[in-house]
Amino acid sequence: MEKKSRRILVVGALLLAIWALSVNADDSEKTIVKTVKGKKMCTRGWECKDWSIYCCNQTISDFFQTYQFENLFSKRNSPVAHAVGFWDYQSFIMASALFQPLGFGTTGGKLMQMKEIAAFFGHVGSKTTCGYGVATGGPLAWGLCYNKEMSPSQSYCDDFYKYTYPCSPGAEYYGRGALPIYWNYNYGAIGEGIKADLLNHPEYIEQNATLAFQAAIWRWMTPIKKSQPSAHDAFVGNWKPTKNDTLAKRVPGFGATMNILYGDLVCGQGDIDAMNNIISHYQYYLDLMGVGREEAGPHDVLTCAEQIPFNPSNSNPTASS
């Protein structure tokens, strides 16, 4: 009897130890805090590993989880989708880990963080959708249907950039990715930004979902020109418009992100379908994430219908055109 009791105690102790290990399996996710020049700085394991003020906030996986990703992109693995099995939640989180210490999805409180993820995906969903008016589940449920342009009309090699971003023999610079990249100069610049040789190997973007998400987040986080805001800064309120911006009706918010990323392809033309489609995806994702489209803001913040473009297409190409 005594031997049996001892065995029960040993088994109980082992189960307790296993439970404790499972509960504390990822000690790396604990927030570590230090103060640098009077500022609170944190790290939060692999997902937000660089010392940063932003890593003191929740990480993306704290408030945006697998089931939410599945809700937002519920039709991406349907048999008729063109990138079945390519896009997944893990690839997005792995890609975001490089940018969370810089504020991507980690700026502000939980509401702003959720809104930024919805805004980023609003662009991604609208640019990779194969939804249409009577599509099953509705036209907005088909984001991340594509990972590349299906019938390129050209190779997108611009010889004007032959000294900075020369086209690699045999390479095709057609649209690829979550925020589709076109042209050699964009593959070159984004490749430098994420430390991948996309100029010589643009195909990497359609072969690796983590890399494709990294490229899209880099574009979201990086100004087209140094004197301009990034889409991230314009959205979260880091950008303070100049007098010229105010005269051009450019204000912080979702509308400005469209202006930065697409210029006059979408903005300054009134309430056109191209603009409204992006806005509809953003509002749809806000609803699905439980934030609610009412948080998208008033019309002048949400749209860019009246905004003068930061970079008119006749003067300088934008990064995704």
- Residues 303, 184 share a domain: no
With tokens 């086209």, the residue in question is 167
d(Cα 224, Cα 208) in Å, to the nearest integer?
A: 24
152 and 141 within one domain: no
Among the candidates 170, 186, 217, a domain finishes at: 217
Q: Does residue 10 lie in a domain region? A: no
Which of residues 170, 195, 217 is at a domain's end? 217
In a domain, 184, yes or no: yes
Residue 29 in domain = no
Residues 258, 259, 260, 263, CA torsion sign:
positive
Both tokens of residue 280?
Answer: 């509809």
Please give the model's pTM, rounded to 2 decimal places.
Answer: 0.88
Look at residue 266 and tell me if it is in a domain: yes
- 66 and 166 in a single domain? The answer is no
Verify that 111 and 172 share a domain, yes or no: no
Which residue, 160, 188, 217, sits at the end of a domain? 217
39, 15 in Cβ contact below 8 A?
A: no
Distances (CA, A) of 309 to 79, 182, 260, 268, 303: 39, 20, 8, 7, 13
Do 84 and 142 sit in the same domain of this protein? yes
Sign of CA dihedral 31, 35, 40, 43: negative
Same domain, residue pair 245 and 302: yes
- The CATH number covering residue 156 comes to 3.30.20.10
Residue 96 lies in a domain: yes
Mutual angle of helices 209-221 and 89-96, in 10-degree steps:
50
Q: Do 243 and 303 share a domain, yes or no?
A: yes
The reply to whether 30 falls in a domain is: no
136 and 284 part of one domain:
yes
Does residue 66 share a domain with residue 158? no
| Degrees to nearest 5, angle at CA 178 with 173 and 180 | 30
CA distances from 199 to 147, 181, 189 (A): 18, 11, 8
Domain count, the chain: 2
Residue 11 to residue 26: CA distance in whole angstroms: 24
Same domain, 118 and 185: no
Radius of gyration of the chain (CA): 22
Helices (H), the chain: 2-23, 60-63, 66-72, 89-96, 110-127, 184-194, 204-207, 209-221, 231-236, 243-247, 254-262, 273-288, 299-302
Return per-residue pLDDT of the chain as tens, 321 residues: 444 444 444 434 433 333 333 333 344 468 899 988 888 999 999 999 999 999 999 999 999 999 999 999 999 999 999 999 999 999 999 999 999 999 999 999 999 999 999 999 999 999 999 988 767 888 999 999 999 999 998 989 999 999 999 999 999 999 999 999 999 999 999 999 999 999 999 999 999 999 999 999 999 999 999 999 999 999 999 999 999 999 999 999 999 999 999 999 999 999 999 999 999 999 999 999 999 999 999 999 999 999 999 998 865 444 444
pLDDT for res 214: 98
Task: Tally Cβ neighbours within 10 Å of residue 245.
Answer: 20
140 phi and psi angles, rounded to 5 deg: -90, -5
Q: Residue 183: what residue type?
A: W
Kindly report the CATH number assigned to the domain that includes residue 259: 1.10.530.10
Note whether residue 54 is domain-resident: no
Residues in contact with 216: Cβ distance below 8 Å, sequence separation at least 6, in sequence order: 95, 120, 124, 177, 178, 179
Q: Is residue 47 part of a domain?
A: no
Domain shared by 109 and 153, yes or no:
no
Structural domain boundaries enclosing 246? 60-146+223-312
DSSP one-letter string for 89-143: HHHHHHHHTTTGGGTTTTSSSHHHHHHHHHHHHHHHHHHS----TT-TT-GGG-T
Say yes or no: 78 and 210 in one domain: no
